[in-house]
């Protein structure tokens, strides 16, 4: 049943008609639990509140699979606006972005131009930028561009997904770049030819890549809501005397907020992934796919209205 629900919401996440309707009708039906508003001003309010509780943030202007140059440039402008707001408001926040929103599917020249615009502004203002990983078909291209950018910029990292067979090799390939990586389980529907179909295998691979990357001496963001993975990381860093300054935990805005505060109180860097913007529908559907408990929460919210 759980797998059926997951597949259903992942299917819905790609529906263009529903995406258009979602943009038109705004953050109703429970999405505001996971999305910090539609504007940078609304996002700043949320980030400041999280910072005051001792939580770090990475902010993401939502949007993906852009198919024209004008929209890609507009998406890059939103990222520049977010960088400016982080600097102006002195927020403890980084920036996350998807390269499809910067023009990855349109041309290499366009995506590189937009990425350099963003990274130049971010470097000037001391803001770190993480390139989110998307579906498998874009994985290699994303890593190729990341490697090019890493040669020019120190303030850029990317994401690797534990459910892909290739990720262990990707950790090795990236080792010479001394990358700052966010490690995640993965939230897209991928075929068994490229991804572990069973959760237990994904979890084991997740532990393996966390250990590999930490023992390579590189900064590691462990992005998970899973207590077993959190405890594994705590024990690992204790066993190998890895300092807290070499890793952090990350969770999504609106999911397990009490656990986020606990980890911060325990002295760990706890970074919250805070999305905002009008193109929230695909992101929201993937959150429902990941955790069936989220569906119950949203249904309660709808019934109250």
Q: Of 6, 138, 182, 286, which residue is the catalytic one?
A: 182
182 belongs to the catalytic site: yes
Q: Of 60, 105, 132, 279, which residue is the catalytic one?
A: 132
Smallest CA-to-CA distance from 75 within 66, 83, 84 is with 66
Smallest CA-to-CA distance from 93 within 296, 305, 271, 292 is with 271
Contacts with 137 (C-beta within 8 Å, 6 or more apart), sequence order = none
Report the Cα–Cα distance between both ends of the chain, in Å, rounded.
28
Q: Is beta strand 93-98 parallel, antiparallel or unpaired with respect to 129-132? A: parallel
Q: What is the dihedral of CA 284, 282, 249, 128, to 10 degrees?
A: -130
Classify each residue of 273-288 as buried b or exposed e, where b means 16 or more C-beta atoms within 10 Å of its C-beta: bbbbbbbbbbbbbbbb
Question: What is each CA distance from 13 to 34, 160, 282, 284, in whole angstroms?
Answer: 15, 21, 4, 8
- Tell me which residues are annotated as active site: 132, 182
């Amino acid at each position: 049943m759980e797998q059926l629900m997951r597949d259903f919401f992942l299917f819905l996440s790609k529906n263009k008609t529903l995406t258009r309707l979602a943009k038109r009708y705004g953050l109703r039906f429970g999405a505001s639990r996971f999305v910090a508003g539609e504007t940078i001003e609304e996002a700043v309010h949320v980030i400041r509140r999280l910072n005051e509780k001792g939580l770090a943030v990475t902010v993401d202007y939502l949007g993906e699979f852009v198919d024209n140059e004008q929209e890609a440039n507009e998406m890059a402008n939103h990222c520049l606006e977010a960088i400016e707001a982080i600097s102006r408001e002195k927020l403890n926040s980084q920036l996350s972005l998807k390269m499809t929103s910067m023009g990855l599917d349109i041309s290499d020249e366009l995506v590189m131009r937009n990425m350099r615009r963003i990274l130049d502004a971010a470097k000037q203002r001391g803001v770190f930028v993480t390139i989110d990983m998307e579906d498998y078909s874009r994985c290699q291209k994303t890593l190729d561009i990341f490697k090019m950018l890493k040669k020019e910029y120190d303030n850029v990292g990317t994401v690797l997904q534990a459910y892909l067979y290739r990720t262990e090799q990707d950790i090795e390939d990236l080792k010479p770049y001394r990358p700052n990586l966010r490690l995640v389980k993965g939230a897209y529907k991928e075929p068994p030819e490229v991804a572990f179909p069973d959760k237990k295998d994904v979890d084991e691979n997740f532990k393996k890549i966390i250990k590999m990357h930490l023992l390579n001496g590189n900064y590691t963001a462990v992005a998970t809501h899973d207590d077993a993975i959190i405890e594994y990381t705590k024990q690992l860093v204790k066993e190998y005397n890895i300092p807290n300054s070499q890793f952090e935990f990350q969770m999504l805005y609106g999911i397990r907020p009490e656990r986020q505060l606990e980890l911060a109180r325990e002295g760990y860097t706890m970074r919250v992934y805070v999305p905002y913007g009008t193109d929230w529908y695909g992101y929201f559907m993937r959150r429902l796919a990941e955790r069936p408990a989220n569906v119950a929460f949203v249904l309660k919210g709808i019934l109250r209205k």
